[in-house]
């Protein structure tokens, strides 16, 4: 089987796996954004009761391998009566992991907002929560765009790890084709090229977002 014949056989399967990878990555990103926002707020509000658990969460997620987290969610939780199908388990594990990194991006951006902005909000009679929501957070989100975009790019690649729990994303689809064609090198190179193209596309989107928010900050 020559290269073109191989690609003719593999292309439909790889494209289907790519579709699952994109759906999987964006679902995990949405979950990570929600978790990251909540954790970031918990870490900046002046309350130790919220800061300590949030700090522990971030430390645990960043200090343990993502693959171990996937195993804990899919294989470990059923031992205490909590079980998920492979797709849900993978999205949950990636969301929890991404949430920790997104929270740090947002927290750093919030802390990067000058005290003058806080003072201006307080002078208008806003409470701490209102000041955070209406004044500080919109500015912090603009500052956090580059790092959050990097998290999404990383998520695209990290989806390959959930192939170990039989989620049919790009890497597992590639392995399935290899099992029938016995052509590992060209197929793994094709999968790597697809991941690369996806990441290049996201880098272009990131660049446009940075330019857009950069202009809006100058207005």
Q: What CATH number did the domain enclosing 54 receive? A: 1.10.3720.10
> Number of structural domains, the chain?
1
Taking the model in full, what pTM does it have?
Answer: 0.86
Q: Residue 83 — φ and ψ, nearest 5°? A: -130, 150
Q: Is 85 exposed, middle or buried (0-12, 13-18, 19+ CB in 10 A)?
A: exposed
pLDDT at 215: 53
Domain membership of residue 53 as a residue range: 3-218
Asked whether the predicted pLDDT for residue 92 surpasses 80, the reply is yes
pLDDT class of 214 with cuts at 50, 70, 90: low
Closest of 156, 200, 177, 178 to residue 27, by C-alpha: 156
Would you state the pLDDT for residue 111?
A: 83
């Amino acid at each position: 089987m020559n290269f073109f014949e191989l690609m003719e056989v593999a292309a439909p399967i790889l494209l289907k796996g790519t579709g699952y990878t994109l759906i999987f990555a964006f679902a995990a990103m949405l979950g990570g954004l929600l978790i990251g926002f909540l954790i970031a707020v918990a870490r900046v509000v002046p309350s130790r009761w919220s800061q300590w658990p949030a700090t522990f969460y971030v430390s645990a997620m960043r200090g343990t391998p993502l693959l171990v987290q996937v195993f804990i969610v899919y294989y470990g939780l059923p031992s205490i009566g909590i079980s998920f199908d492979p797709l849900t388990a993978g999205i949950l594990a990636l969301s929890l992991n991404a949430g920790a990194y997104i929270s740090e991006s947002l927290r750093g951006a919030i802390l990067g907002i000058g005290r003058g902005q806080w003072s201006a909000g307080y002078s208008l009679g806003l409470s701490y929560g209102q000041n955070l929501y209406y004044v500080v957070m919109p500015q912090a989100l603009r500052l956090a765009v580059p790092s959050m975009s990097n998290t999404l790019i990383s998520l695209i690649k990290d989806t390959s790890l959930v192939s170990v729990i039989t989620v049919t994303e790009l890497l597992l689809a590639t392995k399935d084709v290899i099992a029938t064609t016995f052509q590992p090198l060209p197929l793994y190179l094709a999968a790597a090229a697809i991941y690369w193209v996806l990441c290049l596309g996201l880098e272009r989107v990131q660049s446009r977002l940075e330019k857009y928010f950069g202009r809006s900050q100058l207005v």
